[in-house]
Amino acid sequence: MADKRFVSLQLGQEGSGLVSGSLTRRHLLAGAFGLSSIALFGSGARAAIPAPEVLPLESQDYAEARRRFHTRLLRKMAAPEKSSPLGTPPGAERVTYRGGPDGSIELVAWLSHYQPSKALKPAVLFLHGGNATGDGHWALMKPYWEAGFVVLLPSFRGENGQNGNYSGFYDETSDALAAADYLENLPGIDKRRFFVAGHSNGGTLTILAAMSRKFRAAAPISAGVNSWRYFNRYTDEICFDETNEMEFIMRSSVCFGPSLKCPAFLLRGTEERPFDADHQLFVERAWSSGFKVDKKLLPGTHNGVVPGAVEESIRFFNQFS
């Protein structure tokens, strides 16, 4: 059953930033997932970040580009949401994994209970939305384990009082990849049925992860593909060298569409900012990867779509036996 606090949220268009009064998207995300309602925002407005008229298409593979590129953080900061230290929600086992790429940070993840056996089990790595981890995120994972999947929901660097510096998607992708390695190598996991999904910021990370390594399939929910758009909306989260265009390119999956390494199903709510030209450009560019990319609108707001999207992702994943 979905978390009632989550389902009752009514968010405005994702692209609006401000929802009503002084409530921002991040305040509402916090309430949805059982986090503190306090969000950290920079003071004062900033000039818009210039975006290229035509989004670049990089010729090198994204995984190779990540091996060569290192983000330059000009501001060292925790993840930009205040949140409580992580406990262990019902139905979860608290585990730790070594955040990537060098395994220097120990981070908390929640793993569904399962018994390893000779009959290997499919698994889903689910990457949460927002910039903090809350019990409400885990409550939404129940359909996965009820459908027979082992599910891991990792936290990321700098979240919930943990070590590490927030980087705005780049080093968090390394954490997601490290969490994937952790889950994939647990006993009893079927590596041929190993999937990735995620919502909002986690949907963005889902695509970046699926361009970095092979999964059987990916289901990004309400994902962004254009980092210029995101950081023009949330300028307080810019902690890297914004004068270097590659910092934005390396956070934008639309610039690496041919690097997709598995089939993908993009899901989005009917009451949030719709699929736009950037998403369509990503789909067109990903065509040359050889993997099919579909997209579908489901009833709901940016947050309210998640329960239905989880169910839709299960149907999608079950096509791969």
Q: What is the full DSSP assignment across 265-304? A: EEEEETTSSPP-HHHHHHHHHHGGGTS-EEEEEESS-TTT
Rounded Cα distance between 25 and 39, Å, is 10
- What is the per-residue pLDDT for 314? 98
Q: How far apart are CA 141 and CA 153, in angstroms?
A: 8
Does residue 101 have a cis bond before it (omega within 30 degrees)?
Answer: yes
- Residues (pLDDT < 70) of the chain are 1-45
Instruction: Give the pLDDT score at 47.
Output: 77
Query: What pLDDT is recorded for position 48?
Result: 87
DSSP character at residue 108:
E
283-311 residue pLDDT tens: 999 999 999 999 999 999 999 999 999 99
CA 15/CA 32 separation, integer angstroms: 18
pLDDT in tens, 231-240: 999 999 999 9
Where residue 229 falls (left for φ over 0; alpha for ψ -120 to 50; beta otherwise) is alpha
- List the beta bridge partners of residue 125: 152, 196
Largest CA distance in the chain: 58
**pTM for this entry:** 0.88
Query: Cα 246 to chain center, whole Å?
Result: 20
- Select from 163, 27, 179, 174 the least CA-distant residue to 109: 179
Distance, CA of 204 to CA of 235 (rounded, Å): 17
Give pLDDT tens digits for 216-249: 999 999 999 999 999 999 999 999 999 999 999 9
Closest among 177, 276, 175, 163 to 223, alpha carbons compared: 276
What pLDDT is recorded for position 321?
76
| Three-state secondary structure call for residue 53 | coil
